[in-house]
Structure 1
Amino acid sequence: MIDEYVHALDRALHGPARLKSDLLTEARHSLTDSAEGYRDAGLHPVEAERRAVTEFGPVRRLAHEYQSELLAGTLRSLAVRVLVVGVVLMVAADLMWQGAPWNGPPPPTAYRLLAGSLDWLWLGIDLLALGAYLWLGWHARHGRLGKVRVARAAGIGLSASLCLGWIGTAAVYAWSVTLWDSALTWPPMLVGGIALIAVHGWLGRSAYACLATGTGDPAGRTANR
């Protein structure tokens, strides 16, 4: 019965495999310990497992709680990655331009406006990520997961902001290459471009995991069990 319960819980949950596996292992250990206690009290092994599963509660209720933990975990991971990437972007952007060998007229006003707006956009993204991280930490210290809807909205908002950041970054980089032909052969620009692709791909995977974990209703997948 414990195996069946854990298997049903596994099917009800969706999210990163590592976090999900930790939660399932935690549930199995709790059920096993409870069943062992009943066996030590003299109950038949089958009855001991049945009582342990019954006291643990329906899969539907536990799936909702565990899905909330999965969502909090993926949102926390995304927030940390965003903050790390924010620092990397600031350093990389400065290094890409230091000592640049090309000269010429100043870039057009639209270019300067886009570049300046991009700086403010990434600052806003970093602040949103920091707010999400602090909000999750506050609820964790108080033994609460917080409202799932708020965490889901934060994940969607952060992911949408990242999409705008990616588009803006790609636009500024591409525009820079068209304005200064020698930028294509300037090593810091080439290395910086590769770094930008790598960190944005790293962020994209985390954002996808957060969005995927925040969608769906685990209670609905267990309604008939």
Structure 2
Amino acid sequence: MTAIDSYVRELDRRLHGPRRRKADMIVEVRDGLQDAAEAVRAGSPEVSDAEAERQAVEEFGSVPAVAPEFQSELAVVQAWRTAWVFAIALPLVMTVTTLMWRAGSTGVSPSPAYHDLAHATDVFLIAASVGFAVALLLLHLVARRAASPVALVRIVGVAAIGTVLTMMGSGLFLTMGAPTGGTSLWGALVGGLPTLPGYGLLLYLGVRCLRLTRTRGPGAGRPSRRPAPVPSA
């Protein structure tokens, strides 16, 4: 295994995040190192291929030194995707639940407490959707300039987890107290089983944002010395 192969393999092992973006990073690093090694050989023909690769790797920087920078970029991409999904999904959830409510309405007026909870849930979904849309804008505008976007990524992760848990709790209470005939907690849980895959996916996105900002080994978690790229879907 050559010096470049060994370096790229160790970097690949250290990085975690969206697979496509990570694969692109690894390819870019390998190509850059190979170009650097070729430049060394062109400037010093007497240098062996192995020595040229060793010099290229040494100039690029050790894996513990550069991995946090790439990990930061992967975390930003994950946060961008998470914010994008929530900004789109929350209005859809509110629209679908409203249509289901109207379709199943029997003309029975809900209690004031039930009405207030339903209204608060709608307001929360609207506010959360706007918040994630703002997060998308911040990830575009701030990530390039910030010394480290880790804090912003964590905010998106915490907001995603909090939003999902709030939606699940509100859904349970609304189901249990439905004016057309409430149900027990167990009945509400069983009735909500079809929604678990969707909630699970949203919760996973939030947890993943937090995991990708976690310190991993020596040198991980340091502020990035270069601005993160503007992520794309």
Q: Is the 8 A contact 1:136 1:145 kept in 2?
A: no
1:85-138 CA-to-partner distances (Å, cap 9, x unmatched) read: 02211321232123435233x222221121122112222321221222111111
Task: Name the structure where helix makes up a greater proportion of residues.
Answer: 1
**Do the aligned residues in 1 keep the contact of 2:94 with 2:125 (CA within 8 Å)?**
no
**Among 108, 113, 123, which residue is 2:111 paired with?**
108
For residues 149-169 of structure 1, what are the alpha-carbon distances to aligned partners after superposition, in whole Å with 9 as ceiling and x for unaligned?
Answer: 422431333123223333234
Q: Does 2:218 align with 1:215?
A: no
Answer yes or no: is the 8 Å Cα contact 1:72–1:145 preserved in 2: no
Aligned to 1:168: 169
Identity of aligned pairs, percent? Answer: 29
Residue number among 118, 123, 127 corresponding to 1:120 in the alignment:
123
Q: Is the 8 A contact 1:152 1:214 kept in 2?
A: yes
Give 1:170 deviation, angstroms.
2.4
Mean Cα deviation higher: 52-61 or 7-16: 7-16
Unaligned runs of at least 5 residues, structure 1: 183-192
DSSP 3-state at the match of 2:135: helix
- Whole-angstrom CA distance in 1 between matches of 2:126 and 2:208: 23
Match of residue 52, structure 1, among 52, 56, 60? 56
Number of aligned residues: 210
Matched residues in 2 for 1:90 and 1:111: separation? 16
Q: Which runs of 5+ in 2 are unaligned?
A: 183-191, 222-233
Equivalent pair of 2:86/2:160 in contact (CA under 8 Å): no
The answer as to whether partners of 2:68 and 2:219 remain within 8 angstroms in 1 is: no
1:132 & 1:62 partners in 2: Cα distance?
26
Deviation at 1:82, TM superposition (A): 0.4
RMSD: 2.8
2-side partners of 1:56 and 1:139: how far apart? 26
TM-score relative to the length of structure 1: 0.79
Contact kept? 2:75, 2:213, Cα under 8 Å: yes
Q: 1:218 to 1:116 in 2, by over 3 A?
A: farther
Deviation at 1:36, TM superposition (A): 2.2
Q: TM-score, normalised by structure 2?
A: 0.77
Larger relative CO (CA 8 A, sep 6+): 1 or 2? 1
Q: Shift in Å at residue 27 of structure 1?
A: 1.1
Change (3 A) 1:137 1:148: closer
Structure 1 position 145, deviation (Å): 5.3
Which amino acid in structure 2 is aligned with residue 165 of structure 1?
Answer: T
Distance 2:147 2:197 in 1: 32
Indicate the SS of the match to 1:214.
coil
Q: What is residue 135 of structure 1 aligned with on the other side?
A: 138
